[in-house]
């Protein structure tokens, strides 16, 4: 499969999708290898983008249409790159594909999920809701096919879904496969994962149910999230009267992530908008070291600063403890006032940072990493893009991915010259 | 082309359980005028596809109507080679999944959708792409780090490049810099600019032709065929353009409150670079080597009176320059006064490294006053860390001034309002810059339109290279404040887009977002009244005008939104597969029950990218809504032509609802102004309604985001309540 004119894109989030489409529209073949059963990655789980507060699926709709109408793009989901050999212009890549157990006959009719007796925690909603063992990953899912969670599906001993499927779309005996791709250039767009908030033991995540992370907040605010888009306290399902956003939860901290995660300030300012849009009377606090609203994102900061009942306070949250009624007490070193203050709120959102997805599980091939596991640009034909390279927002990920597509094309072109 | 229509109705996925399939087959044959009309239990399966393909091969079917699931799914299986035209009718998401099964109203809905699909298949043609001889050379305007990098990147991908720089030498701002802050791990040490090597690389690249000391006199034509005239008289043709014309530092003379122009030892960060590059860092007043320097951040930036935005690079620049100071003299002190220290991502490492430097002091605070005290400057700062005012006496004050794009629109000029003959200011988004760059021979103005602060940047988060002038891509500090590392990455992205534009144009395809689209507008000029609506309303400046105000289309600039088609009162603008007649015929194909049947009808025009998919998702969730609504997707709500609405009311529709994307400052319309234009046009609908003696409530315009799929059915239901209250259209049955 593939050829030396093909570009492999590892990762099907916004960076990977962008790199593949841009390369394909410039006339090259592109293959996306994605580990999830769907494309869209982290952005598909975000409620809105800053600063426009527009909807990620709007752009995904266009991108999926660009993929569906372009025969130059191939998408392989539930797949992982196992090996990369060769050199610039001529790589051979081994990809291992986990069986989806649902084939292209799937029509999304949904009969299978109706009869499926097994439930699972929905990873799309970060475990805050459940789906059946056979499930459609999300309303916008592309490829538009159900998937089966092998970890919980009892398999042929149950087989209820197979019986009910009129389109012979389910094959519980489907086996995995190993593919060999020949490609001329590679874009690594493996993205990020949130820093594990449980490691921030002074901030009470995992101990107090109303301490949540910023990625959880995205799902709470999203209409296809566990609460149908309502911001509710996990402890009692009630709307919070006050919410505190704790910046640099792990970032800019020698004990956790020494670097700045680049997007969390804007992320929290955006989430303050979520809170105020639904709960106009709620109090919002944001405790920060520096507010990093670069370029004309400054306008958005100014807008939030002017909102009633919003306090942006320069100060480092030292400790969070539980209070009566599932409330939370924050101890803050308030820098402006030069003293320690305490603030009691109904809910806390930790602005956890971005860790490269491949920080602990590096890819094969000729790739240079910095000490944090971000990819450092090099002359190899394997090019990093988006958050695999540095923590950046969606706009700059897409920008970088477009450039990465060109770098991969150059690798193909260089290979072509080499091979005459 | 003579059409032989084949209608194929799928009864799978619950369609067969909800609808009378035989009835639909008959409608296909009778009203749909199909030569062949068949049903199949699973049309998307191999058998179903074979059924259709056999009829194409054996029966000469050349227009296929697939009445099954949404056109957004199973695209890959329902594909037939040209000249076969394919029309999809959404019987699943929009009918069977969202309405009462085996109900008269549900059946009528399905039959109407089938009639609409059939008439569309009868009228539409497979587009023949617009193809002309396309030049694939890339022009790069601006020879700074962005422009040079763009040229090199495009050349490395195999393109011919022409690079134009107005200064006598290449290199731009980087020529003036002493060092760069670190771009490579471990992000601790200053780096050389490497600019001389970069210039040599450009000059020695056989694929790059460099023109220095000249500017663009004019840019005529369109993507694939831009004709460039330089001020030195040379002319050449290119396919696409990268505009990397850079920035200027904010004019520090406007910062007199910080002592600039008043005290000789108050300088800008640009002057500081020059001093560091050419020799010692000294006090301009007496040439004494500095022992103490204060850096004042946000000198103009983040200030509504100066530059409301953050210039993104000044924090890192001052940290770097503070290092210059202590590296020149380890005993010297450098103070940096900032609002927020902005060193994102791995740049934090450099911030930390500078903090470790013993002579460098950082304080969050606001500068209150700068005064001369002896031969020193006294800088008074409200230190927010200490909560009190502090004062330091320094040899030199460096103002961290920000970036102003060279695309900043001309605001001083005025123009004459052609109607009132009054002098009015040229609006910010006039397409004219204080310093012309491309001099486009476009009817809508000589330069790329800009956003709020004068940057010709994309307005779309997902699509950073979206441009309002097809085939012309802004890059580097022209489009937003970026450092040199980011400029170089941006240059690669812009180069990809410039190359891609020539590739797509050569195939007769549109550039983003409708890259699959090979249709283009054709004008029936005999009926043109020179009203200029098309030439004014095209968001991409596709049309030029001749001296008699006739529109002159440039199809390779076209993005296929069809906003011009919606604008044209004479209905002379058509695409092969999308025209006023095609959509109008779909409206006319809908059966309107007599008044006494008490079945009102509402026509809904939905944006194809957001509202239509939202209704699909509502179907996926089996949300039920009123079956009296008939939906027609539009490429963009801006392509809505008012005649469809008056046709609808004349035919007896009781209401019309338009659902498009969010407009306003944070517009989400992928064609910039489409939904806004539809809203403006809808105010004219009210005139139509008055003329027809109809109530104004009969037309509603909504803005909808794609995730409001749960809201759209409610919007339909509520509108239907309004219509029931207003009562039937009196013209029904007339």
Residues B356-388 have pLDDT tens digits of: 999 999 999 999 999 999 999 999 998 776 677
Same structural domain for residues A211 and A315? yes
Last residue of some domain: B57, B91, B126? Answer: B126
Question: Does residue A171 fall inside a structural domain?
Answer: no
Closest chain A CA to residue B346: A259
Q: Is residue A152 part of a domain?
A: yes
B388/B446 same-domain check: no
One domain for residues B628 and B591: yes
Chain B residues with CB inside 8 Å of A291's CB? 340
- 10 Å Cβ neighbour count for B624? 13
Portion 189-248 of B in contact with A at CB < 8 A? none
| pLDDT tens, residue by residue, A80-112 | 999 999 999 999 999 999 999 999 999 999 999
Check B344 against A391: CB less than 8 A apart: yes
List, in sequence order, the alpha helices (H) in B44-135.
46-54, 104-123
Kindly determine whether residue A52 and residue B668, on different chains, have CB atoms separated by under 8 Å: yes
Nearest neighbour of A294 by CB, restricted to B13, B158, B342? B342
Residue B363 included in any domain: yes
Long-range contacts for B486-490 (Cβ within 8 Å, ≥24 apart)? B487/B144, B487/B145, B487/B146, B487/B149, B488/B145, B488/B146, B488/B149, B489/A399, B489/A400, B489/A403, B490/A399, B490/A403, B490/B146
Which of A54, A108, A295 comes nearest B480 by C-beta?
A295
Would the CB atoms of B349 and A258 count as touching at under 8 Å? yes
CB contact under 8 A, A55 and B705: yes
Q: Is residue B513 assigned to a domain? A: no
What's the ipTM? Answer: 0.97
- Coarse DSSP helix, strand, coil percentages of chain B, rounded to the nearest 5 percent: 30, 25, 45
Shortest alpha-carbon distance between residue B91 and chain A (Å): 13
8 Å CB contact of B491 and A403: yes
In chain A (420 residues long), the average pLDDT of successive 10-residue segments reads 88 98 98 98 98 97 98 98 96 97 97 98 96 97 97 96 97 96 97 97 96 98 97 97 98 97 98 98 97 97 97 95 97 81 97 97 94 95 97 98 98 67
pLDDT in tens, B11-56: 999 999 999 999 999 999 999 999 999 999 999 999 999 999 999 9
Task: Measure A197 CA to nearest chain B CA, in Å.
Answer: 19
Give me the percent of chain B exceeding a pLDDT of 90: 91
Give the closest-approach CA distance of B194 to chain A in angstroms. 17
Rounded CA-CA distance A320/A420 in Å is 65
User: From the list B310, B512, B710, which residue is nearest A298 (CB)?
Assistant: B310
Tokens at A7, concatenated: 């570009």
Both A205 and A143 in a single domain?
A: no
Chain A residues with beta carbon closer than 8 angstroms to that of B45 = 105, 167
Of A353, A368, A395, the one marking the end of a domain is A353
> Using CB atoms, which residue from B73, B184, B344 is nearest to A294?
B344
- Asked which of B352, B379, B403 is the last residue of a domain, the reply is B403
pLDDT of residue B424: 67
Whether residue A104 is contained in a domain is answered as no
In this complex, how many residue pairs, one in chain A and one in chain B, have their CB atoms less than 8 Å apart? 233
Please give the pLDDT value at position B690.
Answer: 86
Residues B385 and B337 in one domain: yes
- List chain A residues with CB under 8 Å of B621: 139
Confidence of residue B389 (pLDDT cuts 50, 70, 90): confident
The single residue listed with the structure tokens 């392509």 is: B639
Quick: pLDDT tens for A203-234. Answer: 999 999 999 999 999 999 999 999 999 999 99
Specify the higher pLDDT residue, B409 or B59: B59
**Chain B residues 682-711 within an 8 A CB cutoff of chain A:** 705-710
CA distances to A250, B344, B718 from A200, in Å: 7, 21, 49
Same domain, B77 and B143: no
**Would you call A390 and B620 a contact, using CB atoms and an 8 Å cutoff?**
no
How distant is the Cα of A85 from the closest Cα of chain B, in angstroms? 23
The residue in chain B having the minimum alpha-carbon distance to the alpha carbon of residue A25 is: B500
Answer yes or no: do A216 and A318 share one domain. yes
* Closest-CA distance of chain B to residue A325, Å: 34
- B window 534-563, beta carbon within 8 A of A: none
Reported residue count of chain B is 734
Q: Is B664 on the interface with A (CB under 8 A)?
A: no
Q: Within a domain: residue B131?
A: no
For residue A38, what are the CA distances in angstroms to A22, A44, A175, B78, B454?
A: 19, 10, 19, 22, 39
Q: Assess whether A54 and A71 both reside in one domain.
A: yes
> Under an 8 A CB cutoff, do B184 and A290 touch?
no
- The CATH number of residue B526's host domain is 3.30.70.20
What integer best gives the mean pLDDT of chain B? Answer: 95
A 10 A CB-CB count for B148 gives 30
Q: Which residue of A has its CA nearest to B74?
A: A107
pLDDT of residue A419: 34
A262 with A209, same domain: the answer is: yes
- The end-to-end CA distance of chain B, in Å, is 34
B583 interfaces chain A, CB cutoff of 8 Å: no
Q: How many residues does chain A have?
A: 420
Q: Give yes or no: residues A247 and A309 share one domain.
A: yes
Q: How many CB atoms lie within 10 A of CB A93?
A: 25
Asked if residue B732 and residue B604 are part of one domain, the reply reads yes
Contact between B707 and A224 using a beta-carbon 8 Å cutoff: yes
Asked whether the predicted pLDDT for residue B426 surpasses 70, the reply is: no
pLDDT exceeds cutoff 50 at B189: yes
Beta bridge partners of B180: B191
Instruction: Give residue A417's pLDDT.
Output: 41
Asked if B598 and B716 sit in the same domain, the reply is: yes
CATH code of residue B115: 3.40.50.960
Q: Output the CA–CA distances (angstroms, integers) from residue B87 to B65, B67, B148, in the order listed.
A: 5, 8, 47
Q: Are residues B443 and B354 in the same domain?
A: no
Task: Say if B515 falls within a structural domain.
Answer: no
Tokens of A32: 């996306």
Q: Do A393 and A333 fall into the same domain?
A: no
Q: Is the pLDDT of residue B718 over 60?
A: yes
Q: B residues 376-395 near A, CB within 8 Å?
A: 384-387
Task: Please identify among residues 275-334 of chain B the ones whose CB lies closer than 8 Å to any CB of chain A.
Answer: 302, 308-312
pLDDT higher than threshold 90 for residue B116: yes
What total of structural domains would you count in chain A? 3
CB contact under 8 A, A22 and B497: yes
B348 shares contact with chain A (CB less than 8 Å): yes
Distances in Å between the Cα of B671 and the Cα atoms of B458, B468, B560, B643 are 12, 9, 9, 21
User: Are A54 and B515 in contact (CB < 8 Å)?
Assistant: no
- Residue pair B191/B320 in contact (Cβ under 8 Å)? The answer is no
List the one residue out of B332, B382, B377, B336 whose CA is nearest residue B355.
B336
Has residue B577 got a pLDDT over 80?
yes
Which residues in chain B touch residue A335, judged by CB atoms under 8 angstroms apart? 364, 384-385
H/E element, A81: strand A79-87
Q: Could you tell me the residue range of the domain that residue B71 belongs to?
A: 1-126
Contacts of A299 (CB under 8 A, 6+ apart): A51, B308, B309, B452
Average pLDDT of span B188-209: 98
Range(s) of the domain holding residue A138 = 111-162
Q: Which two tokens stand for residue B461?
A: 């988060």
Same domain, A242 and A323: yes
Of B366, B382, B403, the residue that ends a domain is B403
Note whether residue A135 is domain-resident.
yes
In the structure, what pLDDT confidence band is assigned to residue B427 with cuts at 50, 70 and 90?
A: low
B620 at interface of A, judged by CB pairs closer than 8 A: yes
CA distance A177 to B428: 58
Q: Where are the alpha helices (H) located in A222-369, listed in sequence order?
A: 264-278, 298-305
Q: Chain B, 46-85: which have a CB under 8 Å from a chain A CB? A: 69, 72-76
Q: Is A401 inside any structural domain?
A: yes
- B609 has a pLDDT exceeding 50: yes
A126–chain B nearest CA distance, Å:
19
Residue A106 domain-assigned (yes or no): no
Same domain? For B597 and B545 the reply is no
Q: End of a domain among A298, A331, A353?
A: A353
- How many domains are contained in chain B? 5
Which residue of A lies nearest to B96 if distances are taken between CA atoms?
A109
Q: For residues A182 and A63, state if they share a domain.
A: yes
Q: Which of A142, A141, A137 is nearest to A124 (CA)?
A: A137
Contacts of A59 in chain B (CB under 8 A): 460-463
Using a CB-CB cut-off of 8 Å, the residues of chain A touching B155 are none
Contacts of residue A394 in chain B, CB cutoff 8 Å?
Answer: 461-462
Question: Do B564 and B616 share a domain, yes or no?
Answer: no
**CATH number for position B624:** 3.40.50
Cβ neighbour number for residue B647 with a 10 Å cutoff? 18
Q: Please tell me the distance from the alpha carbon of residue B428 to that of residue B412, in angstroms, as a whole number.
A: 10
Domain shared by B382 and B260, yes or no = yes
Q: What pLDDT score does A282 carry?
A: 98
């Amino acid at each position: 499969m593939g050829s030396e004119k093909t570009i492999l894109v590892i990762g099907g989030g916004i960076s990977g999708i962008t790199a593949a489409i841009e390369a394909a529209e410039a006339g090259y073949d592109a293959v996306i290898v994605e580990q999830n059963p769907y494309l869209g990655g982290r952005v598909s789980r975000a409620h809105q983008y800053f600063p426009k507060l527009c909807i990620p699926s709007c752009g995904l709709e266009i991108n999926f249409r660009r993929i569906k109408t372009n025969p130059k793009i191939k998408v392989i989901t539930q797949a992982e790159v196992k090996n990369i050999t060769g050199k610039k212009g001529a790589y051979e890549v081994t990809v291992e594909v986990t069986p989806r157990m649902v084939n292209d006959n799937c029509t999304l009719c949904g009969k299978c999920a109706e009869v499926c007796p097994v439930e699972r925690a929905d990873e799309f909603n970060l475990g805050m809701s459940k789906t059946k063992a056979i499930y459609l990953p999300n309303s916008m899912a592309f490829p538009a096919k159900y998937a089966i969670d092998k970890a919980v599906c009892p398999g042929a001993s149950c087989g209820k879904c197979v019986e009910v499927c009129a389109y012979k779309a389910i094959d519980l005996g489907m086996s995995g496969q190993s593919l060999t791709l020949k490609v001329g250039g590679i874009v690594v767009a493996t993205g990020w994962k949130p820093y594990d908030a449980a490691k921030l033991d002074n901030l009470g995540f995992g101990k107090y149910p109303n301490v949540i992370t910023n990625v959880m907040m995205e799902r709470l605010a999203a209409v296809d999230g566990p609460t149908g888009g309502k911001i509710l306290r996990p402890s009692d399902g009630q709307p919070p009267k006050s919410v505190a956003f704790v910046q640099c939860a792990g970032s800019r901290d020698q004990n956790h992530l020494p670097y700045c995660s680049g997007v969390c300030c804007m992320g929290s300012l955006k989430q303050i908008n979520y809170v105020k849009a639904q709960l106009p009377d709620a109090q919002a606090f944001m405790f920060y070291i520096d507010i990093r609203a670069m370029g004309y994102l400054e306008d958005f900061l100014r807008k939030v600063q002017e909102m009633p009942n919003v306090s942006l306070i320069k100060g480092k949250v030292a400790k969070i403890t539980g209070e009566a009624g599932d409330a939370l007490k924050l101890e803050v070193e308030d820098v402006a006032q030069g003293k320690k203050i305490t603030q009691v709120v109904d809910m806390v959102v930790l602005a956890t940072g971005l860790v490269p997805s491949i920080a602990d599980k590096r890819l094969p091939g000729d790739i240079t990493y910095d000490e944090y596991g971000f990819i450092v640009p090099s002359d190899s034909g394997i090019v990093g893009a988006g958050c695999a390279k540095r923590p950046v927002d969606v706009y700059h990920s897409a920008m970088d991915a477009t450039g990465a597509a060109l770098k991969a094309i150059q690798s193909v072109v260089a290979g072509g010259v080499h091979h005459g | 082309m003579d059409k032989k229509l084949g209608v194929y109705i799928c009864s799978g996925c619950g369609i067969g359980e909800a609808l009378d399939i035989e009835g639909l087959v008959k409608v296909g044959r009778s009203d749909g005028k199909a030569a062949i009309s068949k049903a199949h239990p699973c049309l998307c399966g191999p058998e179903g596809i074979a059924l259709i393909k056999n009829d194409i091969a054996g029966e000469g079917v050349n227009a296929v109507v697939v009445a099954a699931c949404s056109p957004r799914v199973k695209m890959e299986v329902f594909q037939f080679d040209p000249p076969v035209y394919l029309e999809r009718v959404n019987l699943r998401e929009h009918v069977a999944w969202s309405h009462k099964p085996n109900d008269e109203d549900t059946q009528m809905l399905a039959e109407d959708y089938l009639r609409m699909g059939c008439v569309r298949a009868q009228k539409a043609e497979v587009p023949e792409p617009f193809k002309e001889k396309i030049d694939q050379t890339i022009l790069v305007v601006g020879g700074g780090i962005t422009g040079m990098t763009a040229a090199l990147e495009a050349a490395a991908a195999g393109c011919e490049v022409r690079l134009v720089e107005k200064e006598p030498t290449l290199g731009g701002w980087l020529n003036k810099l002493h060092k760069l802050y670190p771009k490579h791990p471990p992000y601790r040490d200053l780096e050389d600019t490497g600019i001389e090597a970069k210039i040599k690389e450009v000059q020695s690249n056989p694929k790059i032709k460099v023109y220095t000391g000249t500017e663009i006199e004019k840019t005529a034509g369109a993507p694939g065929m831009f004709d460039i005239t330089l001020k030195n008289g040379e002319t050449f043709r290119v396919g696409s353009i990268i505009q990397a014309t850079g920035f200027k530092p904010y004019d520090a003379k406007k910062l007199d409150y910080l002592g600039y122009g008043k005290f000789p030892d108050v300088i800008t960060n640009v002057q500081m670079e020059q001093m560091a590059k050419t020799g010692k860092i000294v006090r301009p007043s007496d040439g004494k080597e500095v022992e103490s320097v204060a850096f004042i951040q946000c000198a103009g930036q983040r200030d509504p009176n100066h530059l409301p935005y953050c210039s993104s690079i000044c924090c890192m620049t001052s940290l770097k320059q503070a290092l210059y100071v202590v590296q020149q003299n380890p005993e010297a002190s450098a103070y940096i006064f900032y609002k927020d220290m902005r060193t994102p991502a791995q740049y934090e490492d450099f911030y930390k490294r500078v903090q470790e430097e013993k002579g460098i002091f950082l304080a969050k605070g606001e500068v209150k006053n700068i005064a001369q005290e002896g031969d020193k400057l006294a800088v008074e700062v409200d230190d927010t860390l200490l909560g009190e005012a502090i004062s330091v006496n320094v040899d030199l004050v460096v103002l961290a001034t920000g970036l102003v794009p060279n695309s900043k629109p001309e605001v001083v000029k005025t123009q004459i309002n052609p109607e009132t003959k009054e002098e009015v200011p040229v609006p910010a988004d006039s397409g004219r810059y204080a310093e012309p760059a491309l001099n486009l021979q476009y009817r809508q103005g000589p330069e790329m339109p800009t956003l709020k602060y004068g940057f010709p940047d994309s307005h779309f988060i997902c699509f950073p290279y979206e441009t309002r002038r097809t085939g012309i891509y802004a890059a580097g500090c022209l489009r937003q404040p970026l450092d040199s590392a980011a400029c170089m990455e941006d240059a690669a992205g812009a180069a990809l887009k410039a190359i891609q534009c020539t590739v797509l144009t050569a195939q007769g395809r549109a550039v983003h977002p409708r890259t699959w689209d090979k249709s283009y507008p054709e004008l029936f000029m005999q009926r043109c009244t020179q009203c200029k609506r098309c030439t004014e309303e095209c968001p991409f400046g596709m049309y030029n005008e001749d001296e008699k105000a006739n529109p002159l289309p440039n199809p390779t600039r076209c993005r296929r939104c069809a906003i011009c088609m919606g604008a044209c009162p004479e209905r002379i603008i058509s695409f092969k597969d999308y025209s006023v007649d095609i959509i109008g015929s779909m409206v006319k194909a809908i059966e309107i029950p007599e008044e006494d049947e008490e079945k009102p009808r509402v026509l809904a025009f939905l944006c194809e990218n957001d509202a239509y998919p939202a209704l699909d998702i509502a179907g996926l969730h089996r949300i039920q809504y009123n079956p009296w609504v008939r939906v027609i997707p539009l490429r963009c709500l801006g392509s809505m032509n008012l005649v469809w609405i008056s046709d609808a009311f004349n035919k007896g529709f009781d209401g019309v609802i338009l659902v498009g994307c969010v407009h306003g400052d944070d517009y989400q319309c992928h064609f910039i102004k489409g939904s806004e234009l539809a809203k403006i046009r809808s105010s004219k609908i009210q005139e139509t309604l008055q003329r027809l003696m109809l109530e104004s409530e009969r037309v509603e315009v909504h803005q909808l985001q794609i995730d409001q799929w749960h809201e759209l059915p409610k919007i339909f239901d509520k509108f239907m309540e309004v219509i029931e209250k207003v009562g039937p259209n009196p013209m029904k049955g007339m």
